[in-house]
Structure 1
Amino acid sequence: MKPGGGDGPHVFVDDLECPELRDEDLHHLTRSLRLRPGDTFTASDGAGSWRICRMGSVPEGEVEPVGEVVFVEAAQPPLTIGFALIKGGRPELVVQKLTELGVDAIVPFTAEHSVVRWEADRATRHTERLRRVAREAAMQSRQVRLPEIGEPTDFATLATYPGAIRADITGNAPSLDHPTVLIGPEGGWSETERHQLGAIRINSSVLRSETAAITTAALLTALRDGVIKHC
């Protein structure tokens, strides 16, 4: 869901009653977007609430709340996309686009045929990076809820999520009856994974992992928003 207040700048703060800008957000608003004292922007707590604020003294980053706090109900059902770890900067691309589309939870995982695996401190570092990417994407797309970026897990754990299903070219049409969709690795699903979960088909072509994740998110959010109807 997007807040009101037009298409102006949007940031996240910890407390909407006494909003304080992070240093990087202050820099973005005043240096990149060139906001000046008296200019307005919207701020959200990342949990569904937002309000209009006014920029105060720029060097100190003072913020003055000028609008009432507005709460936006969460869209139902909550949507979760699990994606098997992939190489390079593609996980960042997946998280960025899924956040823009309004997915509620994004969870990287390791499948049996996964080539990429994050271990120990590397997993922590990558997860923090994905959370920063999600925050930036939520600001750009004016979301009022930050998606949950889960710690890397495995297929068996995600398979226990309510309504979990795999994306596979052999599956049926997507449905909100299955709000958790797992996207497989470059090497495809193992026979064990195929037997463990059913499948939905999101396209008649064999897609790259990141394309499959983004396409799945677009279809599910469009179904949830009533943009498209399930036949």
Structure 2
Amino acid sequence: MQKYFVAPEQFGEHYIEISGQDAHHVTHVMRTKEGDLFIVSDGEAREALVEYTSVEAGTVKARIVEMRELDREPHYDIVIAQSLPKGDKMELIIQKCTEIGAASFVPFVSERTVVQYDAKKEAKRIERWSKIAKEAAEQSHRNRVPSIAPCMSWKQLLQHVSSYELVLFCYEDERGTQLRDIVHPFVMERREHKGNAKVMIVVGPEGGFAPREVEEITSAGAHCVGLGRRILRAETAGMLALACLLYETGEMGGV
């Protein structure tokens, strides 16, 4: 069933109004007819099953059939910190990691980042990435849309390490410590705690990280981890690390 995210103020007591591109999608892409059902969420605390009733001046009106209390969010708030990759790879990373369960994204520039960062284009780029995150969250029926932070420098990223309970620094040259060596004990220790754990996964660009960066981020408190015996692409590493972390936390059953 199709799902849409709308602003909280679009939720009424009995009806919800949908405007802009979402209204166009309802009427012209999905060709929704009177009586058809779909889901609407405000991205915060409310989600409703609604019935399409009418469209006027480009605004769709839908009657609330029932409020829903489904929670599809992970118990951990996991941030993907990704050094800017080439081309449109960041779009793929945001789309797939949103589907898997990332809470937010922090793009950054590191020593071996190939992309030439252009601050003038940042607003447009974040707008594009945010749209991709919204569409992926709708497709996967998330309860909220992941946020996209402004692009950080390496120095700025280091300053954020202490804000997280666990920071996993994915490094292809790490041979001794694998992801599970760090994650499993952390999950076991945190089982008695209430509230969501804040975790950051740091992934490098196509050329990987410089030795200096490895020293700096581990000194700041991050755990340097490997992701198996194979070398992964920049756009693959974050997805794998995120999926493995969620598995260890019991997202797929077990713990």
Give the TM interval when normalised to the shorter protein. 0.7 to 0.9
| Kept after mapping to 1: 8 A contact 2:73/2:142 | no
Structure 1 unaligned blocks of 5 or more:
1-7
Identity %: 27
The answer to which of 125-134 and 219-228 deviates more is 219-228
The answer to which of 148-157 and 96-105 deviates more is 148-157
The answer to which of 168-177 and 115-124 deviates more is 168-177
CA spacing shift, 1:204–1:47, aligned 2, 3 Å: farther
Q: 4+ residue runs of structure 1 moved beyond 6 angstroms?
A: none
Question: Which position in structure 2 is the counterpart of 1:214?
Answer: 239
The answer to which of 192-201 and 175-184 deviates more is 175-184
Secondary structure of the equivalent of 2:137?
Answer: helix
- Residue 56 of structure 1 aligns with an amino acid whose one-letter code is T
Distance in 2, matches of 1:108 and 1:48, equals: 27
Structure 1 segment 51-200 matched on structure 2, within 5 A? 51-59=48-56, 60-70=59-69, 72=71, 74-159=73-158, 160=161, 161-162=163-164, 163-169=166-172, 170=174, 171-174=177-180, 175=183, 177=186, 179-196=199-216, 197=218, 198-200=223-225
Question: Which position in structure 2 is the counterpart of 1:10?
Answer: 3
Question: Which position in structure 2 is the counterpart of 1:3?
Answer: none
TM-score, normalised by the number of residues in structure 2: 0.80
Distance in 1, matches of 2:73 and 2:156, equals: 25
CA spacing shift, 1:222–1:20, aligned 2, 3 Å: farther
Q: Residue by residue, what CA displacement relative to the aligned partner does 1:104-134 show, whole Å, maximum 9, x if unpaired?
A: 0111111111111322221221111100110
Q: Of the candidates 182, 203, 227, which is equivalent to residue 202 of structure 1?
A: 227
CA spacing shift, 1:74–1:143, aligned 2, 3 Å: closer
TM-score, normalised by the number of residues in structure 1: 0.87
Query: RMSD in angstroms over aligned alpha carbons?
Result: 2.2
CA spacing shift, 1:46–1:225, aligned 2, 3 Å: farther
| Kept after mapping to 1: 8 A contact 2:82/2:107 | yes
The answer to which of 172-181 and 42-51 deviates more is 172-181
CA spacing shift, 1:66–1:101, aligned 2, 3 Å: same
Distance in 2, matches of 1:29 and 1:224, equals: 36
Distance in 2, matches of 1:27 and 1:105, equals: 27
- Residue 76 of structure 1 aligns with an amino acid whose one-letter code is H
Q: Residue by residue, what CA displacement relative to the aligned partner does 1:76-130 show, whole Å, maximum 9, x if unpaired?
A: 2211111110111111111000111111011111111111132222122111110
- Residue 9 of structure 1 aligns with an amino acid whose one-letter code is Q
How far apart are residue 74 of structure 1 and its match? 4.8
Q: Of the candidates 21, 40, 43, which is equivalent to residue 46 of structure 1?
A: 43
Distance in 2, matches of 1:73 and 1:133, equals: 19
- Residue 51 of structure 2 aligns with an amino acid whose one-letter code is R
Aligned length, in residue pairs: 223
How far apart are residue 69 of structure 1 and its match? 4.9
- Residue 200 of structure 1 aligns with an amino acid whose one-letter code is V
| Kept after mapping to 2: 8 A contact 1:158/1:164 | no
Question: Which position in structure 2 is the counterpart of 1:26?
Answer: 23
Distance in 1, matches of 2:244 and 2:114, equals: 27
- Residue 129 of structure 1 aligns with an amino acid whose one-letter code is R
Distance in 1, matches of 2:246 and 2:17, equals: 32
Name the structure with the higher helix share.
Answer: 2
